[in-house]
Amino acid sequence: MKDYLFQKVYDYVVHRIERREWKEHDKLPSVRQLSSEMDIHRLTILKAYQLLKQNGKVYVKDKSGYFVQPEGTENLEHFDNPIVSAYVQKNHLSEIHQSPVSYHFSQALIDPNLLPNHYFSDYVKKVFDLYPKVLATYSTVQGDTELRETLSRYFINQYKTYIHPDYLLITSGSQQAIHLIAQALIKPGDLVLFERPSYSAAIDIFRAHGAKIEAVEIHPDGYDLAEVELFLKKFKPRLFYLNPTFHNPTGYTVPAAQRKKLVELAEQYRCLLIEDDAYHDIYFGQAPPPPIYTYDTAGTVIYIRSFCKYISPGLRIAAVICQSSLMQSLITVKSLSDNGSPLLNQKIFLHYFSSLRMQQHLAKLRIALQIRKEIMEEELKATDWHWTSPIGGLNLWVKLPDQLNTEELLTKSIEHSISFVPGQVCDPLKQRSSWIRLSYSYVNEKQLREGVSKFVDVAQTLLK
Amino acid sequence: MKDYLFQKVYDYVVHRIERREWKEHDKLPSVRQLSSEMDIHRLTILKAYQLLKQNGKVYVKDKSGYFVQPEGTENLEHFDNPIVSAYVQKNHLSEIHQSPVSYHFSQALIDPNLLPNHYFSDYVKKVFDLYPKVLATYSTVQGDTELRETLSRYFINQYKTYIHPDYLLITSGSQQAIHLIAQALIKPGDLVLFERPSYSAAIDIFRAHGAKIEAVEIHPDGYDLAEVELFLKKFKPRLFYLNPTFHNPTGYTVPAAQRKKLVELAEQYRCLLIEDDAYHDIYFGQAPPPPIYTYDTAGTVIYIRSFCKYISPGLRIAAVICQSSLMQSLITVKSLSDNGSPLLNQKIFLHYFSSLRMQQHLAKLRIALQIRKEIMEEELKATDWHWTSPIGGLNLWVKLPDQLNTEELLTKSIEHSISFVPGQVCDPLKQRSSWIRLSYSYVNEKQLREGVSKFVDVAQTLLK
């Protein structure tokens, strides 16, 4: 794990000094100031300053700040001074994940120990027996036909909605699916509607493609549909990116009645719905309502379904369903992006997905995750924080006391080897927030108890 | 295999009829006319018209053309009328590959029978023994550390140039590498310099990112460096995408002396060189000169090296080398694009790459491909066509007689189950050309003799 932002800050300061824009004994910007200028977390700036000090580039005077060291003339590679600079892009969530901590409450991933690892080598062996040239062959760009046929049958069985294999595209994870959609459908200045809060990487992807962003609140009981209609009318968004089932980060689920109505509204206002469904099978009681795309009769929904997160995240397999003309464009974008996902991965997934073991695994996994969720909630009971207990997914969306600065809390928590996602990162409008996302899926039960209890202590200290 | 353009043409006609823009008994545009309007190959238009006729949407009157069938009122899904249309993108090469033929001279891929398939299951087993949770784990975005360290050592041994593993990025094939570079470094209106001809997918990728394009000729003995300098001076390109070793499509190799000089020019005019090196190990005599990036001391080159094409294309693994600040941007773009290539694929590649078997495989492969090249050349000897016999790579770049229309030849050839790549597809300036690319790597020796001989016959018929 490497901290690239850290390197960026480090290089930035070194360049300034090297070009003598900052001269001997000049004072460096404060950590807070540079953090806001570079839009990089304060802790990262601080760590870079500390290493600069260690390396003799800067020195500290009393407590008044960092200053340029005279004779800072190490043999710097001009390799770090690019001929051409890249257009800056950001991935906010991935920056937080780079912090090396023990209690990963920022990771909405499933503990590898809960995944069916030891079965997989059997399926891999089977794949090599069945398709001895699997590694010598490219998949078609759209994805392995056998896998698409299997998924087609699965969707028909599950939701009684006919999905032809030609309307299915296999992608390398759902993140790639979002990225392909943004490439095919977004030009700078196009408006994209988000839920508020929303999935941070999706916000970053659409932003990187130049989208203007608006957002409607998602509540424990779904949307305020009058508000959604107002937004559709007022902003005429090209797309509405949504995550209506065990929503990330809140865990909320949009009820069935609203799903149907939403499709009608989207059709009326000619707005594509991008339905990201990454946690569908992780429910703790009843199965969730059918996906929004099952209510679609007019090609209004692009549906992204990922299974791998709770089976084998390492395979990087997701599926996109959409109507024919958009599918053709997505396939072209996929062909330019990577020419198709690896066939081996698709075949391994296919054979596990078609096996009985998958349903058994899911049943066990739901229980294990529900227990972890309950442990987290139990440890949080000591506080006066608020959350709506989710009936599925991997996250708790928690409201902290208003006076708690979540950025400061993150810095402090990382010092105590705890990570979480501040609400601001999940806000399409990037405003400060006293909400945070805590994932209960990645660390084991013991760590969960320890970590959450520690975390509560850290927060209490800041409140004093 | 599915022909999406075909579907596009089909849908286009159906919509016109459905919306009554084309009414009963109206004459459809001629195949040639629609082909030029939609920028889609005539054969594709013809096939779509034929299916429309079969499906009772249109009828044929004598030989005067296609007409709208009355009562063309099948229950058309309004699913094909999108709420939002995608921004059109193209991948020209992939369209040609979609033609179902027996003699694939358009595929610059290696015959799966020449690849080390039966060894791979051993390496896969080894990977599962060593890393039992390989499928439960994400790779870091930059790529598996062990693989990057191994590649770093490999480059140091091969070229005596120190490449730190931090300056290496693992991508899902070299096409993804080009795509990531375009995303990080190209904004609409930026100028990209190409060789002429060049790799068709790279042209499409940079074009899709809005690049303006200029091109310098590549000759059997490399570039005219005075011309390159003129172009660098005149157009101030941001990037120069080049493929100097067993160049695709020509097979030409830029000599060592020019490589050094080119880096100096690029540095002087502040133009990044994107060196795509996909065929480096496929040489028929001496190994090629070291990559251009080995002459780079100022971070002027981004080097894309792929190995998988001649080992295990199904794994989709390539490596990008570049200096630190650009690397950070590429990693961010990669994180947004797919969050990292699958770990399993990286580990399998690592273990094969580190084995002795790889060098043995390459030695055998070179001989097999040289034989195929010679067979193709032998069969072409009957003609008065010209080409420079390549000393590596997978392709023959052949000059046909000027009076031969290569588009017409492609249509005819596909009718005879033969595909090739017309020069126009490889031309960054998209001009008509009497050059074609014939790949000798994908079909076996017997098919090669038959197919090339048939192909020569087809061409002779058109010349009569």
pLDDT at B80: 44
- Please report the pLDDT score of residue B364 as a whole number: 95
Q: Going by DSSP bridges, is the β-strand pair A191-196/A272-277 parallel, antiparallel, or unpaired?
A: unpaired
Confidence at residue B425, expressed as pLDDT on a 0 to 100 scale: 92
* B64 has a pLDDT exceeding 90: no
**pLDDT score recorded for residue A198:** 97
Distance from CA of A211 to the nearest CA of B (A): 14
Res A3: pLDDT: 57
The answer to whether the CB of B170 falls within 8 A of the CB of B304 is no
Q: Which residues, 6+ apart, have CB-to-CB distance to B394 below 8 Å?
A: B108, B109, B110, B246, B248, B279, B282, B369, B439, B440, B441
Residues 179-198 in B contacting A (C-alpha not used; CB under 8 Å): 179, 183-185, 187
Task: Report the pLDDT value the prediction gives residue A76, as an integer from 0 to 100.
Answer: 35
Pairing status of strand B301-306 against strand B103-104: unpaired
The reported pLDDT for the residue numbered B173 is: 94
Instruction: Decide if A410 touches B, using CB distance below 8 A.
Output: no
Rounded distance, CA B4 to CA A329, Å? 9
Q: How confident is the model at residue B1 (pLDDT cuts 50, 70, 90)?
A: very low
Q: What is the length of chain B?
A: 464
How many angstroms separate the CA atoms of B412 and B339, rounded? 44
Position B117 confidence tier, pLDDT thresholds 50, 70, 90? confident
- Nearest Cα residue in chain A from B10: A325
In this predicted structure, what is the pLDDT of residue B3? 57
Q: Is B328 on the interface with A (CB under 8 A)?
A: yes
Q: Is B319 or B41 the better-scoring residue by pLDDT?
A: B319
Contact B326 A86 (CB under 8 A): yes
- A290, pLDDT greater than 70: yes
* CB nearest to A136's CB, from B89, B115, B327: B115
pLDDT at A449 over 90: yes
pTM of the model: 0.81
Cβ proximity of B402 and B437 under 8 Å: no
The most confident of A77-91, A102-116, B219-233, by mean pLDDT: B219-233
> Residues B192-198: what's their mean pLDDT?
97
Q: Which of B94, B112, B342 sits opposite A137 (nearest CB)?
A: B112
Report pLDDT for A55. 67
Examine the pLDDT at B59 and tell me if it is beyond 90. no
Instruction: For residue A366, count other CB atoms closer than 10 A to its CB.
Output: 17
Determine which of A88, A296, A336 to mutate to test the interface with B (most B C-beta atoms within 10 Å): A336
Percent with pLDDT over 90 in chain A: 64
Q: What mean pLDDT value characterizes chain B?
A: 90
Q: Do A315 and B94 touch (CB under 8 A)?
A: no
pLDDT the model gives residue A284 = 96
Q: Write out the H or E segment, with its range, that includes residue B178.
A: helix B173-185
pLDDT tens digits for A304-353? 999 888 888 889 999 999 987 799 899 999 999 998 999 999 999 999 99
Chain A contact set for B329 (CB, 8 A):
86-89
Give the bridge partners for A60, in sequence order: A66
Nearest to A172 among B109, B172, B238 (CB): B172
When CB atoms are compared, the residue of B135, B315, B324 closest to A120 is: B135
- Residue A74 has what pLDDT? 39
Confidence at B60, pLDDT banded by 50, 70, 90: confident
The stretch B26-40 carries a mean pLDDT of 88
Q: What is the pLDDT of residue A72?
A: 41
pLDDT, position A71:
57
Q: Does A269 touch chain B (CB under 8 A)?
A: no
Mutate to test the interface with B, among A325, A347, A353 (most CBs of B within 10 A): A325
B200 vs chain A: nearest CA distance in angstroms? Answer: 11
- How many Å separate Cα A28 from the centre of its chain? 34
* Residue B76 in contact with partner chain A when CB distance is under 8 A: no
Do B342 and A343 count as a contact with CB atoms less than 8 A apart?
no
Cβ within 8 Å, pair B205-A326: no
A193 falls in which pLDDT band (50, 70, 90)?
A: very high
Mark yes or no for CB contact B342/A314 under 8 Å. Answer: yes
Measure in Å the smallest separation between the Cα of A16 and chain B Cα atoms.
15
Task: Name which of A53-62, A157-166, A359-368, B100-109 the model is least confident about.
Answer: A53-62
Q: Residue B380 and residue A405: Cα distance in Å, rounded?
A: 75
Tell me if A332 and B89 make a contact (CB, 8 A cut-off): yes
CB contact under 8 A, A205 and B336: yes
H-helix or E-strand spanning residue B334: helix B324-337
- Check CB contact under 8 Å for A314 and B138: yes
Asked whether the beta carbons of residue A184 and residue B86 sit closer than 8 angstroms, the reply is yes
Quote the distance between the C-alpha of residue A262 and its chain's center. Answer: 24
Structure-model confidence comparison of residues A50 and A458, the more confident one: A458
B11 contact residues in A (CB cutoff 8 A): 324-325
Reference A173, options A311, A77, A69, A43; nearest CA is A311
**Which residues does chain A have within 8 Å of residue B112's beta carbon, measured at their own beta carbons?**
133, 136-137
Handedness of CA A41, A426, A94, A241 (dihedral sign): negative
Cβ pair B299:A329 closer than 8 A: no
Mean pLDDT of chain A: 90
pLDDT value for B232: 97
Residue contact B83–A267, C-beta within 8 A: yes
Which region holds residue A388: left if phi is over 0, alpha if psi is between -120 and 50, else beta? beta
Task: Tell whether A315 is within 8 A of chain B (Cβ).
Answer: yes
DSSP assignment letter at B298: S
Q: What is the pLDDT of residue A54?
A: 67
Taking an 8 Å cut-off on Cβ atoms, the answer to whether A345 and B342 are in contact is: yes
Between chains, do B338 and A90 touch, taking CB under 8 Å as contact?
no
